Structure 1
C-alpha cells in the first residue's frame, strides 16, 4: 500500500492558517493595530479604502525593526513576545502566536516600510502571497508603515464571501473602537476613502469613551472602581434610563485586551436587576486588571475569549462593585437613615442663641367699628368691613326640603381610557366593510383587551391582531414609497438635532436616500450630529429618535446578503417601530380602516415577520364549542 500522507507546501499551510486568523478586513485591522501597540507607538494612523478590500494601512511611530527582524516577522511562529512555554502564562503583550503577519502575507499584497530610531535608513519589503518580491533600503521615518492591498486576491472564494462595504466597514470600526478604548494614552486616527472618521488624541478613559461615542455620552456615564487582591475593577456603566435593547455598548477589557465573556456579562446584568426598562440591556465599559498568571488567553485564535482561574470570585466582586456605584451615585433606590441636610442649622447661625419672637398686639382694635380708628399705641387698626345682616341666613337652606331636580342631566359620562386618534386619513375608500352584512348603524368591529379586533363575517367571526396587522399595512406602504419615491412629509418648525456615534452616522448616510423616500428630511451639519427637518406624516415628533434607534439596531443585527435588501430591512424596522402597539385603544373608525387596509394589502394573512395577522372562527366551530 502506498503512502498517502504528505507534508503540505508552505504556501498552502499559510493559507490554511490564514483562514483561522484572517476572516475579513477587520481581522487584519486588529492584528496590525495590536502589533503597533506592542511596538511602543504613541500615535497610530489607520487608513482604509473600500472597507479594506483595496487597502488597509497602519502607520505608527514605534521602535521600528531592523532589516533582519523585518524579514523574519513574516515567517510562521516567529515572534519577539515569548521565548519559552512558561511565558504563555505571563503575557503582557497583544500578539504572541507569530502567525499574524505570515497569515496576512499569504492572502494579500503587503508593502512594509520600517526604521529604528538609531538607524539612518529604513527597510522596505514587498510580498505577494507569501513570496518576497523585493527587499531594499529606503528612506523612512521612525516607526513602521505596513500596507495590506488586495485582500484575498489569490482566494476568490473567500473574497466572494465578504459582505457589502457598509457591513465590512462596520466591523473595521468595531475593531478600531475596541483597540482605541483599551489604550487611551495612545492617539488614534481612522480614515476611510480619504475621509476622517475618528481623531482621538491622548486622554483619559472617560474622554476616550466620549470621543468614540459622542459628546452626549458624558452625561450617561457612572464610574465604577474597586481594588481587591484578586482583581482591580475600573471603568464606567451607562445609566439605566439610557440603556438600549441591543448589546452594542458592552465592553470588557482584561489587562487592556478586549474580551467577550457571557458569565461576566451576566454579573453586570444581575447588578442592574429591576432598574432596566423592559427588554433593555445594560451598557458598560469595564476594565479588569488581574495577574497574568491567573488567566489563559490562548484558547481562541482571535484571543477574544479568556479563561479565569477563579471566575466565581470575579463574578461576585464585579456585581458588588456595579451595585455599589449604582447606589453611591443615586441611580438605584437606597435606604438612608442619616439626618436630612436641610434640617441642619445654617453655618451663619451656628453659635447664635435662639431668641423668642416679639408679638405686638393692638389691644384697642375693634372689628365691629364702622370707621378705622387710630389707637393710643400709635398703630392703625385693621380696616373695618361692612357688617352684613344676619337676617337672611335662612335663605342658605331654602329648597333643601324639596326633591332634587334631575331633569337637568341629559347624560352621564364615565371616565375611561382615552382612545387614540384615528390612524388613517378620512378619505380612504371603503372596501372590506362594505362586503359585510350590516342591518343598522351599530359598530361592525369590536376591540378585546386593547389587543385584538373582532369583526363579523358571513361564515362566522374574525380575530385580528392589531399590532401585526398594522405592521403589514405600514410595511407595504414604506416599500411602495421607497420604490416609487413618493411620500408625504411634514416639515418641523424647529429641526431636531440628534447625536449619534461615528459608526451610526455611517449607517444613516447609507440609508439617507431611502429614509427621505419614506418622508424624512435629513442633513448632517457636523460630525456626530443628525438634523431632522421633516418627518413622515404617520409619525409623531417625539417618536423620531425611537424610530431611528430601532432602525440602527435592526440594521446592525440583520444578517447581510441573506436574501433581504437594505430597503426591506428599513421597511420592516420602521413598520415595527410605528405600528399601533398592544394595549392601545382604538376608536371605531380606526378599527374599520385598519381592517379595510389590511385586506387591501398584497399579503394580508402574514405580518412582515411571517406571523399570522388574523384567525377565523366559523359558526360551525362555535356551535361545536357550545355543544361539546
Structure 2
C-alpha cells in the first residue's frame, strides 16, 4: 500500500493558512489589500474581541460577479496574474490567490459583493472550507466580507493567539500602515463599536500623517525626495532629531506602495542619521521606495511583508543618501566624528541637574554618615592623576598600536610619591587640573578584554573611593581589586528605577500650571486604555478628551514639566504589546524604566565628590547594580591583575 498520498484540498488549505493567516491582523491585511486592488475609495473595518469573534471589511470597489465570487475561494484562483512572466512584473498587492481559500478554511466566512452591472448582489457562505450557500442579497456596488470565529476548527491555533489588547494593537498597526500610504482612500476602523481610526480622504501623506499622528509630529517632519535612475526613487518624510523614539515602531516602509518589514531599508535609515541621533534612539519615518518591478521579488513569503532586492546595496545607498540630503537641506548635519553624536540626549545639561540640586541636602547628610564608617584604603598623590589619565586616555594610539615615548613622563619621582605621601584621592584631584597633553600607554594586547563589566559586593560601598570624573560623564573610583568606571547616567537610572518600581501606593504628583494636550497615535491610544491605572499610580494625572486626545494635568515631581508630553508618549510606545493583559507588573516596569531614564542625571554633567559617593552607595543597594533597566552595563572594572599584566609585571 502506498505511503504517499495527495492531501484533501481542505486540509491543504488549512496547512497553507498556517503561513497566510498567522493572527487576526493577517486576515485584515489580506482583505484590505484586496479592497485596494479593487479600486476602493472607502474601506471600513469592524472588529470584535480582537478579531476572534468578528472581522468585517466593507469597500466600495468594483465588486465581483457571481461566478467570480464563488471561484475566488478556490486555492490559487486570482485575477492578478495569468502567465509565468507576470511574476516578474507584479504591480498589485495580491497575486497568489491563497488568501480567501486559507481564511475560509479556518473560519466562518460570508461575502456579499456586487458590480455596477449586476441587478442583485451575491452572497457566498463558507464554513471551515465547505461551501454552504450561494444566494441573492442587497448591496451597493462593492464587497463586504465578514470573518467570524477565527480558528474555530483548529483549537491548537486559537490557543496561541495573544490577549485581545495585543491583537487589537496588531490590527491597528496594519490599518495605520495602509491608511498612511493610501491618502486618497477613506479608512474607518472600529473596535467593539468604538471608533479607533478615521482618516477622511487626503491629498498627501503629510496630511494623512496629521490625521493619524497629530500636529506634534507634523511640525517635525522633513520631506525626503531623492533617488537614482534604474535603482530606486525615495520619497516621504523623516523626523527632526528632536522628535525621536526609543524603538522602531514609528518607522513605516513601503516598497511600490506595499507595506514591508525590511532590514535593508531600516539599516539605510539608521546610516542616514548616524552621528545625529544618540545611540538607542530612532527617528520617525514614512518612506516610500519605488523600485522597477524587474528589480524586486515580492514572492518571498506568503505573508508578502518581505521583499528581495536584486541590488540591495545599491538600494541601501540610495535611501541613505536621500535621508542625508533631506537632513542637510533642513540644516542638520552629522558630526565629523562618528563617536560624538551631534545632538545630545534630551535634557542634557552642562551644569548640575535640577534633580541633583533638589537632593543636595539629602546627599550631604547621607555622605557625612557614610564618611564616618568608611575605611580608607586607597592612598594617592597628584601623581595618581597622571596615571589615571594615562590609563583612560581616549587616544587612538591605544587601539592602533602606534607607540608613544611620552609614557616615560610617568617618572620615578611619581612612583616614590605614591609610596610616601598620604592624601585622599579627592584632595589630589582637586590640586591638579587636567590640562593636557597627557602621556598615553603603549598599545594593550586584547584591549577589548581589559575593561570588563563587574558586580561589586553590596556591602563594600565603604571600600570604594571616588577618584574623579571622566568627561563629566563617568565616575572614576577604586577599591582593593582595581579601578572602577561607572556610567553616571545609567547608575542613577538604576537607582530611580528601583525607587519608582518598589514604591507602594500612588507616587506624588505636581500639577502643571496649564494642562498639556497630547494627540495619541492609534497604537498609543490602545496602550493608554490598558495602562491608564498604572500611569495614575506612577504620578501622572490624565484625562481622555475627544477621540485620541488626552489632557495631562499633573506629572511626577522628578519629571520636568517641559518633558512630560515626550515622556508620556515614550511610555505608551514602550509598553510591551506582546504581554498586555498578562498583569500590571510588566506595565509598571515599563513606566518605571521610562521615568527613570528621563529623570536620571545626564551625561556631560559635572558632579561633586559627595554626589558621586551618593550614587555609588545607593547603586550598590539596588536589585541589579550591574545593569540599567534597559540592559546596558553600569560598571566596568580595570582589575589590578589586568593592570599588572598590561605592565608585564606578571
- Taking structure 1 as the reference length, the TM-score comes to 0.75
Alpha-carbon distance, 1:35 to partner: 0.8
Q: RMSD between aligned alpha carbons?
A: 3.9
- Conserved 8 A contact 1:224-1:233: yes
CA distance in 1: counterparts of 2:477 and 2:579, whole angstroms: 36
CA distance in 2: counterparts of 1:461 and 1:254, whole angstroms: 52
Is the partner of 2:575 in helix, strand or coil?
helix
Equivalent residue for 2:501?
479
Equivalent residue for 2:401?
none
Which 10-residue stretch deviates more, 117-126 or 523-532?
523-532
CA distance in 2: counterparts of 1:45 and 1:144, whole angstroms: 11
Query: 481, 485, 490: which one pairs with 2:510?
Result: 490
CA distance in 1: counterparts of 2:644 and 2:297, whole angstroms: 68
Equivalent residue for 1:421?
357
Write out per-residue CA displacement over residues 61-88 of structure 1, whole angstroms, 9 at most, x where no aligned residue: 1122222222111111111111121121
Alpha-carbon distance, 1:549 to partner: 3.9
Flag the 1:315–1:243 CA change in 2: closer, same or farther, 3 A: same
Alpha-carbon distance, 1:614 to partner: 6.8
Alignment: residue pair count: 541
CA distance in 2: counterparts of 1:289 and 1:77, whole angstroms: 27
Equivalent residue for 1:108?
107
- Conserved 8 A contact 2:275-2:334: no
- Conserved 8 A contact 2:113-2:123: yes
Alpha-carbon distance, 1:59 to partner: 0.5
CA distance in 1: counterparts of 2:639 and 2:240, whole angstroms: 52
Equivalent residue for 2:146?
147
CA distance in 2: counterparts of 1:625 and 1:291, whole angstroms: 57
Which 10-residue stretch deviates more, 59-68 or 244-253?
244-253
Alpha-carbon distance, 1:561 to partner: 8.4
Equivalent residue for 1:574?
595
The alignment status of 1:545 with 2:545, answered yes or no, reads no
- Conserved 8 A contact 1:422-1:589: no
Write out per-residue CA displacement over residues 570-623 of structure 1, whole angstroms, 9 at most, x where no aligned residue: 333333333334554445665565566556656667654677767999999999
> Looking at CA atoms only, which structure, 1 or 2, has the larger radius of gyration?
1
Structure 1 residues without counterparts, runs of 5 or longer: 335-415
Which 10-residue stretch deviates more, 565-574 or 204-213?
565-574
- Conserved 8 A contact 2:121-2:137: yes
1:235-246 correspondence to structure 2 within 5 Å = 235-246=236-247
CA distance in 1: counterparts of 2:323 and 2:638, whole angstroms: 53
Equivalent residue for 1:248?
249
CA distance in 1: counterparts of 2:289 and 2:25, whole angstroms: 24
Structure 2 residues without counterparts, runs of 5 or longer: 336-349, 377-423, 427-461
Write out per-residue CA displacement over residues 439-479 of structure 1, whole angstroms, 9 at most, x where no aligned residue: 9xx9976463253485989x999987654554444333333
The alignment status of 1:257 with 2:258, answered yes or no, reads yes
Equivalent residue for 1:512?
532
- Conserved 8 A contact 1:44-1:189: yes
- Conserved 8 A contact 1:189-1:198: yes
Which 10-residue stretch deviates more, 560-569 or 206-215?
560-569
CA distance in 2: counterparts of 1:590 and 1:516, whole angstroms: 31
Alpha-carbon distance, 1:28 to partner: 0.6
Write out per-residue CA displacement over residues 482-530 of structure 1, whole angstroms, 9 at most, x where no aligned residue: xx43321121222223333222232123211101101111123233433
Which structure dedicates a bigger proportion of its chain to helix?
A: 2
- Conserved 8 A contact 2:352-2:607: no
Equivalent residue for 1:502?
522
The alignment status of 1:294 with 2:295, answered yes or no, reads yes
Equivalent residue for 1:217?
217
Is the partner of 1:76 in helix, strand or coil?
coil
Equivalent residue for 2:433?
none
CA distance in 1: counterparts of 2:318 and 2:506, whole angstroms: 57
Flag the 1:622–1:506 CA change in 2: closer, same or farther, 3 A: same
Equivalent residue for 2:37?
38
CA distance in 1: counterparts of 2:32 and 2:157, whole angstroms: 23
The alignment status of 1:535 with 2:472, answered yes or no, reads no
Equivalent residue for 1:342?
none
CA distance in 2: counterparts of 1:250 and 1:175, whole angstroms: 13
Write out per-residue CA displacement over residues 256-314 of structure 1, whole angstroms, 9 at most, x where no aligned residue: 21223333443444444443344433443232334323322111212222233444544
- Conserved 8 A contact 2:217-2:243: no
Alpha-carbon distance, 1:101 to partner: 0.7
CA distance in 1: counterparts of 2:13 and 2:588, whole angstroms: 40
CA distance in 1: counterparts of 2:628 and 2:286, whole angstroms: 38
- Taking structure 2 as the reference length, the TM-score comes to 0.73
1:88-99 correspondence to structure 2 within 5 Å = 88-99=87-98
The alignment status of 1:203 with 2:202, answered yes or no, reads yes
CA distance in 2: counterparts of 1:88 and 1:421, whole angstroms: 66
